[in-house]
A and B are shown apart, each in its own frame.
Chain A
């Protein structure tokens, strides 16, 4: 099929938008770093100490997620695992859970006034625990999904060739899972290395700060924009380096074995349950603690009181009231989703319908550039825009664009060439074919991309915090405000807001995803 002219035009627009929204901020960071005072940041031993500690922290967190997640992944791939769909749904929760909600949940479990009665705040334990809670689902889902696709048929073949269960695990399961294990390990390491909200809430002491946290602190506290730029660039370089094993492993996974859904029914019910239980508990317990404490907050506060104080202008001085934060979050979420759909959709069409392969890679850039870095860059390029009403939704749109573009590229690539040829030979121009064929058959994919973009915007914390003004405060920022205050009343409000945010994110994902799943029959054009 020939490239479509309109797709070229969209590609040009998308490239321009990415250049303005991502490359220009990065250039501004680089210009700032050019300053000798800023460049001296790289010679600061304290900075490298921070990098070293963060690396160790990310390593430990990743190891914890892997040790709990790998057995869970194996169990998820077993057809005899009881309540398999429930376990799978449970492991999706941390995927969509905003980092601030995750942090609050862990706090409700093992923080001061926590359900468990031990206070692990400001310790490596709570950091590793929170990261494991947040990321164990990634390992379980990625590795589990990969194993499920390949294992049953291969294991049957290996058994028929005389391999015992242990030999099968060693010679088939493990090698099959290797790329998925490498990919999820690298991804989790990246997330822990650049962790922001979790660290800020659970371990605010200086020694636990990641580069991301340090960038924010230099901007917000000391207004050291040069130093912050230098650290942001350092983090970007490290992330790009660390992303290499992930990208390679992912490419190997893509060449994986065809999916086989039916599997051998074995007698591994109890082992499977035992393998999934620790990871399941790790994910479930903080969530239970959050809901339990939100329903009956400690220290004399009540849920009713928290809700009452949230719906009226806050009695605690300096806090954004609940309705304002909620309205901001919803408004920003809608704007960011629409913009991300437009930009991500344009990228996907240009990549798939006009062959702009490089735009695919460029569209991933906002993922490598962290939220705080992007916020800082936007602040440097266009200070009044970035800190105005459009700053946060713009940042959120850019941050959600890679997701929309990835989903869109995959969906459009999945439209069989024959369908497009049929549309063309029936007289549909490329533009008409995009409207009458591509869009309707990929509707479900766009809907789920929209749902995740919306959820990501609702939960995004780093950029929202960096660009905040009292009138642009979002729910996660409002939660952080309250967690930073002493007193039972503000804690109860934080718990209530976290529960509300978790609910909103869950509902938006469930609703939009479902609406997109419904197929339409009539042709409106």
Chain B
């Protein structure tokens, strides 16, 4: 569907529950066919953002979609498809009846409706369950029907609230990849709330990070990982080597805060092997086993900090981790650093 400009534009979107501010001044634009993951810790306003877009909570600010102002419309006129965390399948309808629900409301002709329901049941792999009681479905099957029900009317906007939270990890990874492809096929703009960062990075075109009701960063997955907006975001996306204030004072360049991307650094266990020019003496304090290797804790006296450094087993001399106290050299090229200066 040709749309001028972004498919969804949020302007200064805010949600409050009584005196509690759940969401404040969020500006966000999503393109048609784009999947934006919304991440953040519990209570950061992720769900409030989705519910505000769908019209399920009152919100301040503006919501526009394809030239339409959504914020003044009741939920049933917004054309925003919602996939709920707990599926919310209708128990009084069978599988096909659930998938058909929105098509009936859209006044789809009976033939079209039947064809569309069948096509979606095929797509989610449950064509033979059309007449089944939804209460007899497994968790994964329920989730597929919930997705089919939401996507069958082909909404231009789709919001998904932790849709895979109740599924086991294997199923979760498979289904989330499928959903992302369906959404792109439909050309729908999608907001996708998840607490699983790996999932967000895997399927989203861009990731929005919310903290205490505010949007702190909106970036493509790779950029989010390598250029987090601030130290909090850096830690949130899983970086260990983040220092602020006093702790950062001794680092090269004396920044207010800094992130060291450990995967871009190298560590030589044996100081006798030629250390590179930009190497800094570092000593191993200990090692913790990991699934794919060892997590070393390195002390870097020159910087006054400790660095967490993950080593694959094959990268280690003799395949075993260094003993505590082993001296070595840590090399951190310029692109391994992300520095923040104190706000002036």
Residues of A at under 8 Å CB distance from B? Answer: 1-2, 416, 418-419, 421-430, 432-433, 436-437, 440-441, 443, 519-523, 525
Contacts and interface: CB of A to CB of B under 8 A. Distances in A.
Given A428-B76, A440-B92, A519-B92, A421 B104 contact: no
B126 to A, nearest CB: 16
B182 interface: no
Nearest to A432: B105
Contact of A419 (B75, B90, B97): B90
Given A437-B90, A521-B94, A427 B84 contact: no
B92 to A, nearest CB: 4
Nearest to B56: A421
B311 interface: no
Interface in B69-121: 74-82, 84, 86, 88-94, 97, 100-102, 104-106
Given A432-B105, A436-B101, A425 B92 contact: no
Given A519-B92, A521-B94, A525-B104, A427 B153 contact: yes
Given A424-B74, A522-B97, 6 more contacts: A423-B101, A426-B76, A429-B76, A440-B92, A521-B97, A523-B97
Contacts of B150: 425-426
A291 to B, nearest CB: 40
A441 B92 contact: yes
B94 A426 contact: no
B54 interface: yes
B88 A421 contact: yes
B88 A424 contact: no
A523 B101 CA distance: 9
B156 to A, nearest CB: 13
Contact of A422 (B90, B133, B153): B90
A426 B105 contact: yes
A421 B101 contact: no
Contact of B56 (A1, A432, A440): A1
Contacts of B55: 424-425
B211 interface: no
Contacts of B78: 425
A425 B191 CA distance: 15
Given A427-B76, A436-B101, A525-B104, A422 B94 contact: no
28 contacts: A416-B88, A418-B84, A418-B86, A422-B89, A424-B74, A424-B75, A425-B54, A425-B56, A425-B75, A425-B76, A425-B81, A426-B102, A426-B150, A426-B153, A427-B102, A427-B106, A427-B153, A429-B76, A430-B76, A433-B76, A437-B92, A441-B91, A443-B92, A519-B92, A521-B97, A521-B131, A522-B97, A523-B104
Interface of B: 54-56, 74-82, 84, 86, 88-94, 97, 100-102, 104-106, 131, 133, 149-150, 153
A433 B56 CA distance: 14
A521 B96 CA distance: 10
A520 B153 contact: no
Nearest to A4: B74
A440 B150 CA distance: 21
A422 to B, nearest CB: 4
Contacts of B149: 422, 426
Contacts of A443: 92
A428 B105 contact: yes
B105 A422 contact: no
A447 to B, nearest CB: 14
Contacts of B79: 427
A424 B82 CA distance: 10
A425 B104 contact: no
Contacts of B133: 521
B82 A422 contact: yes
Contacts of A424: 55-56, 74-76
A437 to B, nearest CB: 6
A45 to B, nearest CB: 57
CB-CB nearest 4 A-B residue pairs: A427-B105, A426-B102, A418-B88, A424-B75
Contact of A425 (B80, B86, B131): B80
Contacts of B80: 425
B338 to A, nearest CB: 40
A257 B290 CA distance: 45
A509 B82 CA distance: 41
A422 B99 CA distance: 12
Contacts of A519: 92
Nearest to A423: B101
A426 B56 CA distance: 12
A432 B79 CA distance: 16
A419 B88 CA distance: 5
Contact of A523 (B54, B100, B131, B153): B100
| Candidate in B55, B75, B84 with the most chain A CB atoms within 10 angstroms | B75
A423 B54 CA distance: 12
Contacts of A418: 84, 86, 88
A414 to B, nearest CB: 12
A429 B102 CA distance: 11
B117 to A, nearest CB: 11
A525 B92 CA distance: 13
A520 B76 contact: no
Nearest to B84: A418
Nearest to A421: B56
A437 B149 CA distance: 15
A522 B150 CA distance: 19
Contacts of A521: 92-94, 97, 131, 133
B84 A422 contact: yes
A1 B104 CA distance: 22
Nearest to A519: B92
Contacts of A433: 76
Contacts of A2: 74
Nearest to B80: A425
A75 to B, nearest CB: 34
Nearest to B86: A418
B104 A520 contact: no
Contacts of A1: 56
A521 B134 CA distance: 10
Contacts of A523: 93, 97, 100-101, 104
A433 to B, nearest CB: 8
A441 B90 contact: yes
Nearest to A416: B88
A302 B172 CA distance: 75
B189 to A, nearest CB: 15
Given A424-B56, A427-B105, A520 B75 contact: no
A520 to B, nearest CB: 7
A288 B137 CA distance: 49
- With most chain B CB atoms within 10 A of its CB, the pick from A443, A521, A525 is A521
Nearest to B158: A425
Contacts of A522: 94, 97
A353 to B, nearest CB: 13
A19 to B, nearest CB: 30
A344 B90 CA distance: 25
A244 B89 CA distance: 41
B150 to A, nearest CB: 7
